[in-house]
Protein backbone atom coordinates (compact mmCIF):
# COMPACT_ATOMS: atom_id res chain seq x y z
CA UNK A 1 0.00 0.00 0.00
CA UNK A 2 2.83 2.43 0.82
CA UNK A 3 4.34 1.86 -2.64
CA UNK A 4 1.00 2.59 -4.30
CA UNK A 5 0.62 5.82 -2.35
CA UNK A 6 4.15 6.95 -3.23
CA UNK A 7 3.55 6.25 -6.94
CA UNK A 8 0.31 8.25 -6.88
CA UNK A 9 2.04 11.16 -5.21
CA UNK A 10 4.91 11.02 -7.69
CA UNK A 11 2.45 11.16 -10.57
CA UNK A 12 1.14 14.54 -9.47
CA UNK A 13 4.36 16.07 -8.17
CA UNK A 14 7.57 14.59 -9.55
CA UNK A 15 7.37 16.43 -12.86
CA UNK A 16 6.79 19.64 -10.94
CA UNK A 17 10.26 19.36 -9.39
CA UNK A 18 11.85 19.46 -12.84
CA UNK A 19 13.76 22.53 -13.87
CA UNK A 20 13.21 24.80 -16.84
CA UNK A 21 15.76 27.22 -18.36
CA UNK A 22 14.66 29.68 -15.71
CA UNK A 23 14.42 28.10 -12.28
CA UNK A 24 11.07 29.52 -11.27
CA UNK A 25 10.83 29.72 -7.52
CA UNK A 26 14.54 30.50 -7.22
CA UNK A 27 14.74 33.51 -9.49
CA UNK A 28 15.71 36.56 -7.42
CA UNK A 29 12.27 37.08 -5.93
CA UNK A 30 11.27 39.28 -3.03
CA UNK A 31 9.89 38.81 0.46
CA UNK A 32 6.74 40.43 1.73
CA UNK A 33 6.11 40.66 5.47
CA UNK A 34 2.58 39.40 6.01
CA UNK A 35 1.20 38.94 9.48
CA UNK A 36 3.63 36.85 11.47
CA UNK A 37 5.68 35.51 8.56
CA UNK A 38 7.45 36.38 5.31
CA UNK A 39 6.08 35.35 1.93
CA UNK A 40 8.34 34.80 -1.07
CA UNK A 41 7.08 35.90 -4.49
CA UNK A 42 8.29 36.52 -8.03
CA UNK A 43 6.88 38.78 -10.75
CA UNK A 44 6.97 38.36 -14.53
CA UNK A 45 5.59 40.32 -17.46
CA UNK A 46 3.37 43.37 -17.77
CA UNK A 47 -0.36 43.97 -18.06
CA UNK A 48 -3.37 42.83 -16.07
CA UNK A 49 -2.27 41.17 -12.80
CA UNK A 50 -2.63 37.41 -12.43
CA UNK A 51 -1.94 35.69 -9.11
CA UNK A 52 -0.52 32.16 -9.41
CA UNK A 53 -1.36 29.80 -6.51
CA UNK A 54 0.47 26.47 -6.51
CA UNK A 55 -0.54 22.98 -5.41
CA UNK A 56 -0.17 21.05 -2.16
CA UNK A 57 3.41 20.78 -0.87
CA UNK A 58 4.39 22.60 -4.07
CA UNK A 59 5.90 25.97 -4.91
CA UNK A 60 6.15 28.54 -7.69
CA UNK A 61 7.91 25.87 -9.78
CA UNK A 62 4.49 24.20 -10.25
CA UNK A 63 4.02 26.83 -12.97
CA UNK A 64 7.27 26.17 -14.89
CA UNK A 65 5.33 25.49 -18.08
CA UNK A 66 2.85 28.34 -17.60
CA UNK A 67 4.98 31.38 -16.73
CA UNK A 68 6.93 31.75 -20.02
CA UNK A 69 3.83 32.05 -22.24
CA UNK A 70 1.47 33.85 -19.87
CA UNK A 71 4.08 36.46 -18.95
CA UNK A 72 3.96 37.67 -22.57
CA UNK A 73 0.35 38.74 -22.00
CA UNK A 74 -0.07 39.50 -18.29
CA UNK A 75 1.71 40.59 -15.14
CA UNK A 76 2.21 37.38 -13.18
CA UNK A 77 2.61 37.37 -9.41
CA UNK A 78 3.68 33.92 -8.31
CA UNK A 79 3.83 33.23 -4.58
CA UNK A 80 5.10 30.45 -2.37
CA UNK A 81 2.35 29.85 0.18
CA UNK A 82 3.29 30.10 3.87
CA UNK A 83 5.41 27.07 4.90
CA UNK A 84 5.97 26.22 1.22
CA UNK A 85 8.94 26.78 -1.07
CA UNK A 86 11.01 29.78 0.04
CA UNK A 87 8.34 31.29 2.29
CA UNK A 88 8.73 31.14 6.05
CA UNK A 89 6.78 28.64 8.11
CA UNK A 90 3.59 29.20 10.07
CA UNK A 91 2.33 27.09 12.98
CA UNK A 92 -0.58 25.36 11.24
CA UNK A 93 -2.17 25.06 7.81
CA UNK A 94 -5.72 25.25 6.59
CA UNK A 95 -7.23 26.47 3.34
CA UNK A 96 -8.86 29.37 5.15
CA UNK A 97 -5.55 30.37 6.75
CA UNK A 98 -3.82 30.31 3.36
CA UNK A 99 -6.68 32.31 1.82
CA UNK A 100 -6.37 34.93 4.56
CA UNK A 101 -2.67 35.31 3.74
CA UNK A 102 -3.49 35.77 0.06
CA UNK A 103 -6.00 38.50 0.95
CA UNK A 104 -3.27 40.28 2.93
CA UNK A 105 -0.84 39.90 0.02
CA UNK A 106 -3.40 41.46 -2.35
CA UNK A 107 -3.75 44.38 0.07
CA UNK A 108 0.00 44.76 0.62
CA UNK A 109 0.71 44.85 -3.13
CA UNK A 110 -2.21 47.29 -3.59
CA UNK A 111 -3.85 45.11 -6.22
CA UNK A 112 -7.34 46.13 -7.24
CA UNK A 113 -8.80 43.95 -10.01
CA UNK A 114 -6.95 40.66 -10.37
CA UNK A 115 -7.40 37.13 -11.67
CA UNK A 116 -6.27 33.97 -9.91
CA UNK A 117 -4.86 30.86 -11.56
CA UNK A 118 -4.97 28.09 -8.97
CA UNK A 119 -3.70 24.53 -9.21
CA UNK A 120 -5.09 21.82 -6.89
CA UNK A 121 -4.69 23.28 -3.36
CA UNK A 122 -4.17 26.67 -5.00
CA UNK A 123 -7.51 26.34 -6.79
CA UNK A 124 -9.23 25.73 -3.45
CA UNK A 125 -7.49 28.73 -1.87
CA UNK A 126 -8.39 30.88 -4.89
CA UNK A 127 -12.08 30.11 -4.55
CA UNK A 128 -12.02 31.07 -0.85
CA UNK A 129 -10.18 34.30 -1.65
CA UNK A 130 -12.87 35.23 -4.18
CA UNK A 131 -15.48 34.73 -1.47
CA UNK A 132 -13.52 36.92 0.98
CA UNK A 133 -12.76 39.83 -1.40
CA UNK A 134 -15.28 39.47 -4.25
CA UNK A 135 -14.81 43.09 -5.35
CA UNK A 136 -11.15 42.44 -6.23
CA UNK A 137 -11.24 39.05 -7.98
CA UNK A 138 -12.65 39.14 -11.50
CA UNK A 139 -11.62 35.69 -12.73
CA UNK A 140 -10.54 32.36 -11.26
CA UNK A 141 -9.03 29.32 -12.91
CA UNK A 142 -10.09 26.43 -10.68
CA UNK A 143 -7.54 23.88 -11.86
CA UNK A 144 -7.79 20.26 -10.63
CA UNK A 145 -9.50 21.32 -7.42
CA UNK A 146 -12.21 19.81 -5.22
CA UNK A 147 -14.60 20.92 -2.49
CA UNK A 148 -13.70 18.34 0.17
CA UNK A 149 -11.63 15.18 0.72
CA UNK A 150 -14.86 13.20 0.46
CA UNK A 151 -15.07 14.14 -3.21
CA UNK A 152 -11.86 12.20 -3.85
CA UNK A 153 -11.70 8.79 -5.44
CA UNK A 154 -11.19 6.06 -2.79
CA UNK A 155 -7.50 5.68 -3.61
CA UNK A 156 -6.99 9.44 -3.38
CA UNK A 157 -8.65 9.64 0.03
CA UNK A 158 -6.60 6.68 1.24
CA UNK A 159 -3.42 8.46 0.17
CA UNK A 160 -4.37 11.49 2.27
CA UNK A 161 -5.23 9.35 5.28
CA UNK A 162 -1.93 7.43 5.14
CA UNK A 163 0.33 10.35 4.30
CA UNK A 164 3.56 10.65 6.30
CA UNK A 165 7.21 11.68 5.80
CA UNK A 166 8.22 8.01 5.72
CA UNK A 167 6.40 7.24 2.46
CA UNK A 168 8.04 10.07 0.53
CA UNK A 169 11.29 9.65 -1.40
CA UNK A 170 14.28 11.47 0.10
CA UNK A 171 14.26 13.91 -2.83
CA UNK A 172 11.21 15.66 -1.40
CA UNK A 173 12.79 16.30 1.98
CA UNK A 174 16.02 17.39 0.26
CA UNK A 175 14.15 19.82 -2.01
CA UNK A 176 12.25 21.30 0.94
CA UNK A 177 15.37 21.72 3.07
CA UNK A 178 17.26 23.33 0.19
CA UNK A 179 14.60 26.01 -0.37
CA UNK A 180 12.95 26.58 2.97
CA UNK A 181 14.18 29.25 5.43
CA UNK A 182 13.01 26.75 8.10
CA UNK A 183 14.63 23.50 6.88
CA UNK A 184 14.16 21.75 10.23
CA UNK A 185 10.36 22.03 9.87
CA UNK A 186 10.09 19.26 7.23
CA UNK A 187 8.16 16.69 9.27
CA UNK A 188 5.95 19.38 10.79
CA UNK A 189 5.22 20.66 7.28
CA UNK A 190 4.17 17.19 6.08
CA UNK A 191 1.84 16.59 9.03
CA UNK A 192 0.38 20.10 8.86
CA UNK A 193 -0.35 19.52 5.17
CA UNK A 194 -2.02 16.21 5.97
CA UNK A 195 -4.17 17.84 8.65
CA UNK A 196 -5.29 20.48 6.14
CA UNK A 197 -6.13 17.86 3.50
CA UNK A 198 -8.26 15.89 5.95
CA UNK A 199 -10.43 18.82 7.02
CA UNK A 200 -14.05 17.90 6.42
CA UNK A 201 -14.82 20.79 4.04
CA UNK A 202 -12.36 22.67 1.84
CA UNK A 203 -14.75 24.97 -0.02
CA UNK A 204 -18.31 25.32 1.32
CA UNK A 205 -20.66 24.37 -1.49
CA UNK A 206 -23.03 27.22 -0.60
CA UNK A 207 -20.52 29.93 -1.62
CA UNK A 208 -20.45 28.78 -5.26
CA UNK A 209 -23.82 30.24 -6.38
CA UNK A 210 -22.87 33.58 -4.78
CA UNK A 211 -19.58 34.06 -6.64
CA UNK A 212 -19.66 36.96 -9.07
CA UNK A 213 -16.22 36.13 -10.48
CA UNK A 214 -15.97 34.27 -13.76
CA UNK A 215 -14.68 30.79 -12.97
CA UNK A 216 -13.04 28.36 -15.38
CA UNK A 217 -13.27 24.83 -14.00
CA UNK A 218 -10.26 23.16 -15.61
CA UNK A 219 -9.95 19.42 -15.19
CA UNK A 220 -8.10 16.45 -16.66
CA UNK A 221 -10.19 13.48 -17.79
CA UNK A 222 -7.55 11.10 -16.39
CA UNK A 223 -7.30 12.75 -12.95
CA UNK A 224 -6.14 10.07 -10.51
CA UNK A 225 -7.81 11.56 -7.46
CA UNK A 226 -10.93 13.53 -8.35
CA UNK A 227 -13.82 11.99 -10.33
CA UNK A 228 -14.97 13.79 -13.45
CA UNK A 229 -18.53 14.23 -12.19
CA UNK A 230 -17.27 16.35 -9.28
CA UNK A 231 -15.93 19.02 -11.63
CA UNK A 232 -19.27 19.02 -13.45
CA UNK A 233 -21.12 19.46 -10.14
CA UNK A 234 -18.92 22.46 -9.29
CA UNK A 235 -19.53 23.98 -12.72
CA UNK A 236 -23.31 23.52 -12.38
CA UNK A 237 -23.33 25.51 -9.13
CA UNK A 238 -21.47 28.52 -10.54
CA UNK A 239 -23.47 31.46 -11.95
CA UNK A 240 -20.56 32.56 -14.17
CA UNK A 241 -18.80 29.27 -14.75
CA UNK A 242 -17.07 27.72 -17.71
CA UNK A 243 -16.05 24.08 -17.90
CA UNK A 244 -13.05 22.67 -19.75
CA UNK A 245 -12.20 18.97 -19.65
CA UNK A 246 -8.69 18.31 -20.95
CA UNK A 247 -8.33 15.06 -22.94
CA UNK A 248 -5.82 12.42 -21.89
CA UNK A 249 -4.66 14.61 -18.98
CA UNK A 250 -4.08 13.60 -15.36
CA UNK A 251 -4.08 15.71 -12.17
CA UNK A 252 -1.02 17.61 -13.35
CA UNK A 253 -3.08 19.69 -15.79
CA UNK A 254 -0.46 22.37 -16.44
CA UNK A 255 2.10 19.84 -17.63
CA UNK A 256 0.00 19.63 -20.83
CA UNK A 257 1.08 23.18 -21.68
CA UNK A 258 0.50 22.99 -25.45
CA UNK A 259 -3.21 22.80 -24.70
CA UNK A 260 -3.62 24.57 -21.37
CA UNK A 261 -1.65 27.75 -22.07
CA UNK A 262 -3.86 28.74 -25.02
CA UNK A 263 -6.97 28.01 -22.94
CA UNK A 264 -5.65 30.12 -20.06
CA UNK A 265 -4.72 33.05 -22.29
CA UNK A 266 -8.14 33.02 -23.99
CA UNK A 267 -10.08 32.86 -20.72
CA UNK A 268 -7.94 35.49 -18.97
CA UNK A 269 -8.05 37.87 -21.95
CA UNK A 270 -11.81 37.87 -22.50
CA UNK A 271 -13.97 40.64 -21.06
Q: How do residues 202-213 score in pLDDT, each as one tens digit?
A: 999 999 999 999
Does 7 have pLDDT greater than 70?
no
Are the CB atoms for 154 and 176 separated by under 8 Å?
no
Q: Is the sign of the CA dihedral 153, 3, 18, 95 positive or negative? A: positive
Q: What is the pLDDT of residues 137-160, one digit of tens each?
A: 999 999 999 999 999 999 999 999
Burial of 106 (0-12, 13-18, 19+ CB in 10 A): buried
Asked if residues 207 and 235 have their Cβ atoms less than 8 Å apart, the reply is: no
Q: Give the total number of structural domains in the chain.
A: 1
Range of the domain at 53: 2-269
pTM equals 0.93
| Rounded distance between C-alpha atoms, residue 42 and residue 21, angstroms | 16
Which CATH number goes with the domain that contains 56?
A: 3.40.50.1820
Report which of 135, 121, 130, 142 is spatially closest to residue 13, judged by C-alpha positions. 121
What whole-number distance in Å separates Cα of residue 176 and Cα of residue 248? Answer: 30
* Residue in 148, 130, 122, 131 with CA at minimum distance from that of residue 218: 122
Amino acid sequence: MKLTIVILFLLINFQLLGQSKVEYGSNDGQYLEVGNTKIYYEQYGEGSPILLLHGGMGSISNFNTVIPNLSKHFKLIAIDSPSHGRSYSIDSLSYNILADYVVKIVDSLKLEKIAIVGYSDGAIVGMLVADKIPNKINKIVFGAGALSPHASKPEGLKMLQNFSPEILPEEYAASYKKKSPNPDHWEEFVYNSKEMWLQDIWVPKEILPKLDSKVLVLFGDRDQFIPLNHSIEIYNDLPNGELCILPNTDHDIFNNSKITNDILIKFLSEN
